[in-house]
Amino acid sequence: MRRVTVTASRTYDILIGRGLINDAGKWIAQAVKPCQAALITDDIVDGLYGGTVERSLKENGFGVHKFVFPNGEQSKTWQVLGEMLEFMAGEQLTRGDIVVALGGGVTGDMAGFAAAVYARGIRFVQIPTTLLAAVDSSVGGKTAVDLKAAKNMAGAFCQPSQVLIDCDVLEKLPDELVGDGAAEIIKYGVLADRDLFETMRRGRLMENLEDIVEKCVTIKRDVVAEDEFDNGARQCLNLGHTLGHAVEKNSNFTLTHGKGVSVGMMLIARAAWKKGYSEENLVPAIEEAVRAYGLPTKTDYSPEELARVALVDKKRRGGEITLVVPKRIGKCDLIKVPVGELAGWAAQED
Ligand SMILES: NC(=O)c1ccc[n+]([C@@H]2O[C@H](COP(=O)([O-])OP(=O)(O)OC[C@H]3O[C@@H](n4cnc5c(N)ncnc54)[C@H](O)[C@@H]3O)[C@@H](O)[C@H]2O)c1
Ligand SMILES: [Zn+2]
């Protein structure tokens, strides 16, 4: 088992290994004394792992109060969050109790938010069951629900007390969910780690799963330690996301997040090369990497459409937008661009 320690407003361990979910209660008891646990999960994950985690928590002295919601982004709302909080109150959870988030990013973000606000804040543990949640959303303490105007528009920074990543769970994921996580992993490679990028480019994710998960959470850990509240350096994690999110939104979220990020990275790499920001043309390398996981490289939306949608993004500050621009594999810069120039960064061809 590997252990990555995050030092932020709360210090906690990310445990990465095989079969961890079977002993979830034992691992959690290392971070949190046995107490009452609100086990929060969606219907799909409940069917796969709910029973295992519940049993292990009980065997290790935790009381379990399970809350299951319908899977998918459409559940990431105030309404479901409210039901979750009312459930916790109905079960009489107190300040000393915990939330266990078992599932993908939707579960982690929403259960984390519930923990952040219930009784003015209780502790929570993340057990990510998607690759995206393992390498990205479960680490770093951003919690949220969606508003009608924008995704993740209401939330709180709240660090978990522990993250348990079971690579046996990740290995069994369907291809589409592997692709979504792969897009984020390729992003980490482009941002900070050439070896990681090359491993992904060769399609060797599954053979190196534990190494790769450890590298990604370590990169994210370091970024979060520098800028927990997202005022500067943490923005680099948005590589491919400004335009990628616009692609996702324009498709009415029929395209998954990873697919949007994949196209977003391609667009920004192409523009960065054409505008002279990159030291080499990264488009062919990124294209090869994303293709290895069945991710798209192009979109039918026009640059103007993408720019318009991207500018509703909450990361916009005043008349400028911050873009993450790749210089070479392993090194990206943050640059500020006037909003009127954004479409020029979203062109697919000459
Ligand atoms: N907090 C952050 O820093 C952060 C970062 C990135 C993304 N996010 C958020 O994460 C969410 C996306 O995450 P996601 O893709 O994990 O979404 P998700 O939680 O909706 O999971 C995707 C689907 O996979 C299913 N699933 C989960 N685990 C499974 C398993 N082991 N086997 C089979 N099916 C499984 C779920 O039931 C769901 O239908 C978005 O809401 C996004 O905003 C947050
Ligand atoms: Zn992302």
Closest C-alpha among 208, 188, 338 to residue 261: 188
All structural domains of the chain, each given as residue ranges with its CATH number in brackets, are 2-171 (3.40.50.1970), 176-345 (1.20.1090.10)
Q: Which residues pair with 12 in a beta bridge?
A: 6
Is the beta carbon of 142 within 6 A of some atom in ligand 1? yes
Q: What is the pLDDT along the chain (350 residues), one digit of tens a residue?
A: 999 999 999 999 999 999 999 999 999 999 999 999 999 999 999 999 999 999 999 999 999 999 999 999 999 999 999 999 999 999 999 999 999 999 999 999 999 999 999 999 999 999 999 999 999 999 999 999 999 888 899 999 999 999 999 999 999 999 999 999 999 999 999 999 999 999 999 999 999 999 999 999 999 999 999 989 988 889 999 999 999 999 998 998 889 999 999 999 999 999 999 999 999 999 999 999 999 999 999 999 999 999 998 887 555 667 899 999 999 999 999 999 999 999 999 988 75
Confidence at residue 253, expressed as pLDDT on a 0 to 100 scale:
85
Interval between CA 146 and ligand 2 midpoint (Å): 15
State which of 75, 106, 230 you would mutate to test the pocket of ligand 1, scoring each by most atoms of that ligand within 8 A of its C-beta.
Answer: 106
Beta-carbon contacts of 34 under 8 Å, excluding residues fewer than 6 positions away, are: 60, 61, 62
Nearest ligand atom owner, CA of 188: 2
Token duo for residue 301: 């939306």
**DSSP character at residue 317:** B
Q: For residue 101, which amino acid is it?
A: A
Task: Give the integer Cα–Cα distance in Å for 155 and 115.
Answer: 11
**Residue reference for tokens 């209660």:** 25
Confidence at residue 348, expressed as pLDDT on a 0 to 100 scale:
80
Token duo for residue 24: 């979830």
Nearest ligand atom owner, CA of 133: 1
What is the maximal distance between C-alpha atoms in the chain?
63
SS3 label, residue 71? coil
Closest C-alpha among 137, 143, 136, 138 to residue 158: 143
**DSSP character at residue 20:** G
Confidence at residue 53, expressed as pLDDT on a 0 to 100 scale:
98
Token duo for residue 233: 């350096």
Global pTM reads 0.96
Task: Give the integer Cα–Cα distance in Å for 297 and 255.
Answer: 13
